[in-house]
Amino acid sequence: MFVRTASERDLPEASRLIGESLHAAYDAFYGADMVDGIVRALYSRAALKAAMGRPLSEFLVADDGEAIAGVAFAAAPDDNDRVVDVLGLYVLPALQGRGIGGMLLQELEESFFETERIRLEVDARNLRALGFLESEGYERKGERREEILQATLVTLDKSLV
């Protein structure tokens, strides 16, 4: 398994992978219809292409030479290049627990070598993701209520200096 920068040809497979991962993690909380809507709105090929083209961003895939096993993307917010937001980190459910997410996170962290902090948000009910991120050195920094999802999102971050 190796991590590489994604290309436009990866987008259909990346979109499918993200959809499968989101359904596995969130159908029980949001329902399959809501997850389908999230995938259509945020992770269509067009949306992923736009994410890939953002300035100060990195879009990665974990690839075994035959298929994509994971996807990660991050970008610096417009107003603060000292912080990077992880906008997505997804691994095929059948391959979780094999170090793929850690490889993707490490590559994201190394890609933004001038950045001081990297952060992301996770639904408070996604205990597996929270445990994984904490094992990778991320610390809980706060929470916010997301009304559309009817969820509490936990903000985690990690110092890169």
Q: Indicate if the pLDDT at residue 112 is higher than 90.
A: no
What pLDDT was estimated at residue 92?
96
- Chain segment 24-38, per-residue pLDDT in tens: 999 999 999 999 999
Q: How far apart are CA 153 and CA 149, in angstroms?
A: 10
Q: Indicate if the pLDDT at residue 81 is higher than 90.
A: no
Q: At what angle do helices 45-52 and 11-30 cross, to 10 degrees?
A: 110
Topology of the domain comprising 2-117:
Aminopeptidase (3.40.630)
Q: How far apart are CA 160 and CA 94, in angstroms?
A: 30
Domain parsing of the chain, residue ranges:
2-117
Q: Indicate if the pLDDT at residue 48 is higher than 70.
A: yes
The pTM for the full model equals 0.91
What pLDDT was estimated at residue 79?
67
- Supply the mean pLDDT for the chain: 93
Q: Indicate if the pLDDT at residue 62 is higher than 70.
A: yes
Q: Indicate if the pLDDT at residue 65 is higher than 80.
A: yes
Backbone angles phi, psi at 67, to 5 degrees: -150, 160
